[in-house]
Amino acid sequence: MELLDQKIWIIVIGLILFVLLENVFPKEKIKFVKKINRTFKNIFFWVLNIGITPIIILPITIYATTFNLHQTFVINHFLIQFLFHLVIYDLFLYFWHRANHEIPFLWRFHHVHHLDETLDVSSGIRFHFGEVVLSALVRCAVIIAFNISLTNLLLIEAIVFISSAFHHSNIKLPQKLESILSHIIVTPSIHWVHHHKRQKETDSNYCAIFSFWDYLFGTKSKFKRYLGMPIGVEGDKEQSLSKLITRPLK
């Protein structure tokens, strides 16, 4: 429980920091009414996912970390073990994200995330609960296969959450700083291209934490972000909250 509390505090502090930064140093101007409407929808999905976490997500995750089918990937050094798990987990997220775009059934759920027609920190918490449950189930196989401990998992998930909040954010970063960071981690300019309304760009830039997987697997877009760039899904548009909830079932 102490580790879980620490994870929650890391997430809360990260969210507050990025929300403050994107409001003080915004890169794009978002109309107030539009921002309020979409932020409400995004937070609704987050609250819903928080609600199902102790009922579904947490129990199956904890259960997965109790398996010890083999000792192949056990490293007797906490830092090296943690870094190994972090890289493996991030690689899994890359392929899982890519699968959500390439497999029609999974895209039904992930589609909801992409219908947001602008981006900010709240976009990083807008995921359909169906996608969250499916992700948790698939993630269990990775946890078991690589002996990922509960301690490492909670720390890694906190990093993933902070990374998502950051690269969805509307923070205006100094160009040189973002250029340097983009060689190591996913920055807003990288991920905003992934949310471009043109499908060619939507189907690229899948990385979650580290930015090099897209280079390695040939999915890095050469497109450069620009102000006023259209965000969303090609041939589609944002929906009401009720339609977003039921959309994957249609």
Between 35 and 157, the more confident residue is: 157
Residue 192 CA to residue 214 CA, distance in Å, equals 15
Cβ contact 186:209 at 8 Å: yes
26: β partners: 171
Q: Is the pLDDT of residue 32 over 80?
A: no
Two tokens, residue 206: 């899948």
Nearest to 41 by CA among 107, 99, 127: 127
Q: How far apart are CA 129 and CA 126, in angstroms?
A: 9
* Better pLDDT: 7 or 192: 192
pLDDT of residue 33: 65
Alpha helices in the chain (DSSP H): 2-24, 32-52, 58-65, 78-102, 104-114, 129-145, 150-168, 175-181, 188-194, 199-202, 212-216, 241-246
The size of the chain, in residues, is 250
User: Dihedral sign, CA of 107, 113, 237, 206?
Assistant: negative
Give the residue with greater pLDDT, 62 vs 70.
62
173-203 pLDDT tens trace? 999 999 999 999 999 999 999 999 999 999 9
Average pLDDT over residues 40-61: 95
pLDDT of residue 156: 96
With pLDDT > 70 as the criterion, what percentage of the chain qualifies? Answer: 99
The C-alpha atoms of residue 171 and residue 18 are separated, in whole angstroms, by 8
Of 132, 164, 116, 191, nearest to 10 (Cα)? 164
Distance CA 80, CA 132 (A): 29
Of 145, 149, 140, 152, nearest to 59 by C-alpha is 140
- 33/206: higher pLDDT: 206
**Can you tell me the distance from the alpha carbon of 207 to that of 209, in angstroms, rounded to the nearest whole number?**
6
Q: Which residue has the tokens 């994200």?
A: 97
**Domain residues of the chain, as ranges?**
2-249
Helix (H, G, I), strand (E, B) or coil at 120: coil
pLDDT at 1 > cutoff 70? no
**Is 37 a residue whose pLDDT tops 90?**
no
Tens-digit pLDDT profile for residues 72-115 = 888 888 999 999 999 999 999 999 999 999 999 999 999 999 99
pLDDT grade for 245, boundaries at 50, 70 and 90? very high
Average pLDDT over the chain, rounded to whole? 94
What's the one-letter identity of residue 80? I
